[in-house]
Chains A and B, each alone.
Chain A
Amino acid sequence: MEKELDKREEELIKYMDEKKKLEYPESYLIAILHKAQELYGYLSKEIMLKIAYYMKIPTSHIWGVATFYHYFKLKPIGKYVISICLGTACYVKGAQLILDKLKEELKINIGETTEDMLFTLQEARCLGACGLAPVIMINEKIYGDLTPEKISEIIKEIRKKEKKLQSNVAKN
């Protein structure tokens, strides 16, 4: 595990070194935050501090940027990130009901993660699958033509799969 940590940090530093060589290095802050989030899953204070000192960008500035853009996660996220599309097409076709159902099933609000770190719920503006509206995306996979009932099933399915996985791990 620790080894992996080192590797991620190494990669982040390598990335920052590349940017430092370019014109206007501090303009790559958003790119660097993207990279860090890609590596670590979210932007922790420790990582942002590291970036701040390495790139010589004030921490307050990094904080302002990280909180401005909704793409950046400031807390650890769940294994399954559920993005509910609240674009117009989905909205018109009942995305609100889907969202209500998701909140009910997961007992979390948008932007939150379940206690077991399994699910994170977030909203998306438009996933570009308007023909399938209403849609959600779980990690990279799109689920369309949804109804509240289908949501229950999808969540149940994932929970079942995870439980199995866990018991397998326990057995081994």
Chain B
Amino acid sequence: MKDEKIKIYINDKPYIVKSGQTIMQAADSIGFHIPRLCYHPKLSVEGACRVCIVQVQGMNNYVASCAFPIQDGMKIYTNTPELRQARRDIVELLLDNHPEDCHTCERNSNCELQRLAMSMGIKKRHFVGEKKHYNRDLSSPSIVRDPDKCILCGRCVRICSEIQNVHTLTQAYRGFKTVVIPAFDEDLAESVCSTCGQCINVCPTAAFIEKSYTQELFEKLNDNSIVKVVQFAPSVRAAIGEAFGFEPGTQKENELVAALRKLGFDYVFDTQFGADLTIMEEASEFLERLQNKQKLPMITSCSSAWMKYLEQFHSDLIENISTCKSPMSMMGALIKTYFADKIKRDKKEILSVAVMCCTAKKYEAARPELMIDDVRGVDIVVTTREIAWMIKSAGIDFVNIKGKGFDNPLGLSSGGGAIFGVTGGVMEAAIRTAYELYTGETLIEIELEELRGFNNIREGKIMMEGKEIRVAVAHGLGNASKLLEIVRKEPDRYHFIEIMGCPGGCIGGGGQPYAGSSSIPLDENVLKKRAEALYGLDRNKTIRRCHENPNIQKLYKEFLGRPLSSLSHKLLHTHYSAKKPEGILPAEFKVR
């Protein structure tokens, strides 16, 4: 039925298309891009913005092409003068209730509303009137909510509920007074928000943006009394090029190192080193749990949005969580101790900055549980977007920059560390190491295809000395909840689980560059290309197993002793506890 071909007419020209599609899908398939706003292929169809309206012969009213199914012989008009004016007026109505501050807006030149206004040819405004006004919600360490800029497309509400299963946001009140807001009109900081930042990713305007720390960072970079150290996550290098016009999937590791030095950082380290270290600790912890018959399955803890979500929504499973800090926080701890000792500076004289693909890391860095004595391991977290802006703002020619290598001792990493950025990567890296730690033999087949890809939940098996180790991977908090439901029902089904809070893993993080004019937020093709960039980095490394990283070995020899040593525990491990407000996972839920 679905593969049946039917004939439709678009603007009087016949086309043969697959049946069972919406008008928009059919039009897309033959090269007509109908303008759209509230539609997102990963989310339920809302049909609310009415930007994608078309005329269908025989219908009195326009229909939303995102929702209306095609039929054989249907005559569709996408561009009549009357329709163009209606569409234009609809977009103008959105503009009329939107701040007039494009030139100072974070999304300037990268805003879907702006693009639409441009493509509609809105030169004059006819319907200017009262604008809504709300206070900006600056309470969250990660996310800023600015309802004045909201055009009520509902994508944030839908991704937060349908994909992430967090249900932080709702549309409250109604009509002209509708506003997207957490329960009881409370601030994000008081809500169940996981700080994952997916709302930012899908927001067409700047109604959701990250809490920016760029000004503070620019000031600190000019302070010569401190040592400025920066690390950046695997996924940052896989995506930052997009902010400078490079094709998705163009990795810019060395260029970013060079640009960060130019920005004024004294040392540029690699979070992938922290990833290698995480694997050492995590794999050891897993084996310890396995051998001592402690709580299993063990679940990874690198994703900070996932950790916050766990503490609020799944606190009954806290014992299953690995006590390992995230790679960023392990790095932060080492920068303030191991590295501080090396350069003989007090940890208070070191500014530790992390460039992350993630908004939740801003929250993580501020967690009191992660303090190193009385200082934070990571002082400032900026996102891929923020650092790209800073590079541009400082006048650094990123496009033509000559690449540079990382500083040592925290700059060398294995391929296992690189693939941390993509869903399934932590598990893959962990297996590479755990296998060898357990069996004493080197795992040869290290590319674990069954753990790769973007299927919601993926399972795998590996035999270690005749023992079957069953693992599972989930990405996105909604899938995480589904996987945990399985765990609750079948506690023995898995030994080891990787969970990443964002769809696609860190490469799809809430701090990554905005979709360009020719792609959509969280475009699976873009995610695939970013993932491929990281797999490519892995393949091109001679060292692909974390434990083979000589600097890691040196670190243990010189400083930590061995994995799970008491110093490791002090610096590299943490604890989790149930937090308020407790989240609610509904049995069945649709967003309406």
Contact = CB atoms under 8 A, between A and B. Distances in A.
- Check A-B contact in the complex, CB < 8 A: yes
A159 to B, nearest CB: 33
B584 A68 contact: no
Given A63-B172, A67-B173, A68-B174, A57 B584 contact: yes
A60 B170 contact: yes
Interface range on chain B (Cβ under 8 Å from partner): 20 to 34
Interface range on chain A (Cβ under 8 Å from partner): 10 to 19
A61 B589 contact: yes
B169 interface: yes
A52 B184 contact: no
Contacts of B184: 45, 48, 59, 63
A59 B169 CA distance: 9
A53 B172 contact: no
Interface in A30-66: 45, 48, 52-53, 56-64
Contacts of A26: 586-589
A68 B175 CA distance: 9
B586 A58 contact: yes
A66 to B, nearest CB: 8
Nearest to A60: B170
Given A56-B586, A58-B584, A64-B171, 17 more contacts: A26-B588, A26-B589, A45-B184, A48-B183, A57-B586, A58-B192, A59-B167, A59-B192, A60-B169, A60-B182, A60-B183, A63-B172, A63-B181, A63-B182, A64-B170, A64-B172, A67-B173
B322 interface: no
Nearest to A65: B170
B584 A52 contact: yes
Nearest to B179: A67
B420 to A, nearest CB: 31
Interface of A: 26, 45, 48, 52-53, 56-64, 67-68
Interface in B137-187: 161, 167-174, 181-185
Nearest to B191: A60
Given A58-B167, A68-B173, A68-B174, A63 B183 contact: yes
A26 B587 CA distance: 9
A26 B191 CA distance: 22
B403 interface: no
B467 to A, nearest CB: 38
Contacts of B191: 60
In order of increasing CB-CB distance, the 7 nearest A-B pairs are A58-B167, A64-B170, A59-B183, A60-B170, A63-B183, A67-B172, A60-B183
Contacts of A48: 183-184
